[in-house]
Amino acid sequence: MDLNAVIDSAVSAPAASASDYKGLSNVATTNACKLCTPLGATLAFKGVEGAVSFLHGSQGCATYMRRYIISHFREPMDIASSSLGEKNAIYGGGPNLKKGLLNAMQKYGAGVIGVATTCLTETIGDDVARLLTEFREEFKDLPLAELVHVSTPSYSGTHMDGFHGAVKALVDQLCPGSRENAAPANSRVNLFSGMVSPADIRHLKEIFRGFGVEAIVLPDYSETLDAPALLEYENIPSGGTSVADIRAMSGARASVELGRAISTQDTAGTSLNERFGTPLFRLGLPMGIRETDALFATLKSITGVDTPRDLLLERGRYIDSLVDGHKYVSGLKAVVYGEEDLCIGLTSFLAEIGVHPVLVATGARNRNLSAHIEAACGSVLREMPPHLRPIIREGADFFDIVEEAKTLAPDLLVGHSKGQRAAREWNIPLLRVGFPIHDRFGGQRLLHLGYRGAQALFDRLVNLVLEKKQNDSDIGYGYL
């Protein structure tokens, strides 16, 4: 097993080719296909045990983001805020930040506070790192929470940048140092899963366990954002990655980082790799057969364990179901939109099952999406007739997506809830995936990853197609 070769091939980005999207000429953004940067950070912080997500800025942003996140997860999502007012905007938000941190510690019992900035505090130039140092000094006689901060101005980037930025900040600030002071070597594997659903996180953990490793997943909001009914309200919901586990990351066997489109230098995985030499495996989101195979191959190369039988059976059943169902979806044209990495994974999944992803669009910019999609889809895409190969757009909003899709006569939309208007207008099905799911139930339990996730997606997709067929037909066949 040449581990290094695998690592190298996994880490090195596909040959950079400029995205073919030159930007539509629109100045205004109409119906955005992205969210603001700090939202991603507050979600990531939510996956740390005992943590409170904290926004340094005015109150409105926190309230809006909470509402948006709650509508998807249907779980409490507290986001504390330094609630800056007009005076603070002029004289700086330091005093409010410190007061807010104290309150979050004393009233919530926060063990960790993840501070993300907002456009307001970025613009007035508050130096949060310095403020936190001052705070630690000022209150050093108190038992202080771990303070982690990330810079998240929305005027550059999207919620995905906020998410990945927060994960990296957690690793950099809670697992600092270099080889000399690394945690004792342990048998665990770090897993940076990206912004996936609680159900996905649970499944990933199960997969790792199948290979005999207990993953250290960061962030792990599989419990905090999908918790059981409780007798006693918990200020901070149970679950999440513990600080001790984050520290132990420096002694882990390897890191697996999911997401082809994350920047190649500046991530939690590269940080551990550079500082502690932790081998890094960068893979796409395991969606569909080949991307999931790649994860399993990687796990095998790390652990030396063969894919467990029950997971192999899942793969086999999935392929069997493709045989049974392929005709229902074969040749359909789909429009895929949403976060860059989800787009890549979905495109790969769709191309594999014979659906043509004719348009793939994300609100993010400079993600090199074309190259990543090519790499993820490989031969499946190359063998497609040229006129059906995807048009790939970055920096798109729903105005762009709808305008462009109109010319392509799609049969199907694949993405989060916000494509609902278009789907309704064109009377075509929308396969709801990712975040946010605001108009259906159970978004937090949607499974996308692994063979099992592919199976769930395929079943839902086929049923959407059948349902439409049945509803549109005069006869209403009872067998389809």
Partner 1 sequence: MTETAKALTPEHIACPEDSAAIPAERATIFEERKDQIHRVGDGDFAMACNRDSLAGAVSQRACVFCGSRVVLYPIADALHLVHGPIGCAAYTWDIRGALSSGPELHRLSFSTDLQELDVVFGGEKKLAKALDELIPRYEPKAAFVYSTCIVGLIGDDLAAVCKAASARHGIPVIPVQSEGFKGNKREGYLAACKAMRTLVGTGETADISKLSVNIMGDFNLAGETWIIKDYLNRMGIEVVAGITGDGRVDDLKRAHGAALNLVQCSGSTQDLAKMMREDFGIPFLRVSWIGIEDVAESLYAVAEHFELTQPELAAGMVERTALLVRDELATLMPQLKEFRRDLEGKKAAVYVGGSFKAFSLVKAFRHLGMEVVIVGSQTGTEDDYRELAAICAPGTIVVDDANPLELSAFLKEKDVDIFVGGVKERPIAFKLGVGFCDHNHERKIALEGFVGMLNFAKEVHASVMSPIWQFVPRRESQNRPIEEA
Query: Residue numbers of the site for ligand SF4 (CB under 6 A)?
Result: 36, 38, 58, 60-61, 64, 118-120, 154
List C-alpha distances in Å: 99 to 58, 169, 228, 421.
14, 22, 32, 43
Q: Which stretch binds partner 1 (CB under 8 A): 23-31, 192-200, 208-216, 427-435?
A: 23-31
**For residue 287, which of 331, 374, 218, 348 has the smallest C-alpha distance?**
348
Q: Can you tell me the distance from the alpha carbon of 23 to that of 28, in angstroms, rounded to the nearest whole number?
A: 12
Q: Nearest approach, Cβ of 116 to ligand SF4 (angstroms)?
A: 8
Place of tokens 């909003």: 397
422: which 2 tokens?
């278009």
Least distance CB 395 / ligand SF4 (angstroms): 16
From the list ligand SF4, partner 1, none, which binds 229 (C-beta under 5 to 8 Å, kind-based)? partner 1
Report, in Å, the least distance between residue 60 CB and ligand SF4: 3
> Applying CB under 8 A, does 263 fall inside the site for partner 1?
no
User: Nearer Cβ to ligand SF4, position 36 or 381?
Assistant: 36
Nearer of residues 67 and 130 to partner 1, judged by Cβ: 67
Q: Which amino acid is at 193?
A: S
Q: Which does 177 bind (CB under 5 to 8 A by kind): partner 1, ligand SF4, none?
A: none
Contact set for partner 1, span 103-132 (CB under 8 A): 103-104, 107-108, 118-120, 123-124
User: Is 60 an interacting residue with respect to partner 1 (CB under 8 A)?
Assistant: yes
Among candidates 84, 87, 36, 105, which has minimal Cα distance to 64? 36
- Piece of 85-93, 243-251, 306-314, 442-450 that binds partner 1 (CB under 8 A): 85-93
Length of the chain equals: 480
Q: Which residues contact 155 (CB under 8 A, 6 or more apart)?
A: 119, 122
Based on CB atoms, which residue is closest to partner 1, 96 or 273? 96
CB of 395 to partner 1, least distance (A): 10
Contacts of partner 1 in 424-463 (CB under 8 A): none
Nearby residues of 175 by Cβ (< 8 Å), 6 or more positions away: 183, 246, 247, 249, 250, 272
| Distance separating alpha carbons of residues 166 and 343, to the nearest angstrom | 21
330: contact with partner 1 by CB under 8 A: no
The whole-angstrom separation of Cα 210 and Cα 287 is 18
* Binding to partner 1 in span 167-226, by CB under 8 A: none
